[in-house]
Amino acid sequence: MAAKREDVISSLEASESMVALAKDHLVQPWPTAGEIGAEARGGIVSGDGIYVIDGEGRKLIDGPAGMWCVNAGHRRKELADVLYQQAMDLSYNSPWYTMNEPSVTLSARLAGHAPGDLNHVFYTTGGSSAVETALRFMQFANNVKGRPEKKLIVSRQGGYHGSTYLSASLNGRPRDHDWMDSASEQVVKLTCPNPFRRPEGMSEAEFCDVLVEEFRGASRRGVRTASVHSLPSR
């Protein structure tokens, strides 16, 4: 059903005042220095299924599903009901000395999907903290096992792994490092495996051989390699 004109106007006004407030108070990710407060992005006011609606009433496909975290779609009543019920039953429970039913049930369910003996689940608050936690587990395990030299992490140029200190150190895009410090002594960066960006005149098969040899070379650097991080590169 088409939105009524007065609804569109009031949501436009709400969106304009949202943009004005954002200019005064909101720091959005990745601003160019000096543009904080000068630039405010368009406001999104609601979502429905695969769509989001902006302040001008435009219906846009939410291509990346939020930040890949709304894969089930917006405004799913069954999910909203569960969220509401959980908030009314128990809003939060610290995992230090106690536990709760949803986390145990989900762990068992995830273990059922995971291969082999991957049967235990450790929860974090997002991708960066998941990568950071995995790396710190690796460091901890190697220290405890008496091999503190085994710390080298292999990642790829062009990749993105997060925004916490160690996970960001794995990132392979120049702008992620331009003005940031990183744990570079612990990370080896290998070539981006995107065949589209392979050196001119090199066939895909040759490029693949180069990548394999480069990876072998990094592994030969020894016993020190502890962790390999790879993702489809841009």
Residue ranges binding ligand PLP (CB under 6 A) = 67, 126-128, 131, 160-163, 231
Least distance (Å) between residue 128 CB and ligand PLP:
3
Nearer to ligand PLP, 51 or 160 (CB): 160
| CA-wise closest residue to 156 among 197, 96, 111 | 197
CB atoms within 10 A of CB 162: 21
Choice between 21 and 231, CB closer to ligand PLP? 231
| Nearest-approach distance from CB 56 to ligand PLP, in angstroms | 28
In angstroms, what CA-CA distances link 60 with 40, 53, 55, 57, 65?
18, 6, 11, 9, 11
Q: Is 135 helix (H, G, I), strand (E, B) or coil?
A: helix
Q: Give CA–CA dist 136/138, Å, rounded.
A: 5
- At closest approach, how far in Å is the CB of 160 from ligand PLP? 5
CB of residue 234 to ligand PLP, shortest distance in Å: 10
Residue closer to ligand PLP (CB basis): 27 or 205: 27
Name which of 47 and 127 has its Cβ closer to ligand PLP.
Answer: 127
Instruction: Please say which residue, 202 or 231, places its beta carbon nearer to ligand PLP.
Output: 231
Cβ–Cβ < 8 Å for 24, 78:
no
| Closer of 76 and 173 to ligand PLP (Cβ) | 173
Residue 178 Cβ vs ligand PLP, minimum distance, rounded to whole Å? 19
Minimal CB distance to ligand PLP: which residue? Answer: 127
- CA 184-187-188 angle, 5° bins: 115
**In whole angstroms, what is the distance from residue 163 CA to residue 90 CA?**
30
Q: Are 159 and 188 in contact (CB under 8 A)?
A: no
Burial of residue 131 (number of CB atoms within 10 Å: 0-12, 13-18, 19+)? buried
CB of 133 to ligand PLP, least distance (A): 11
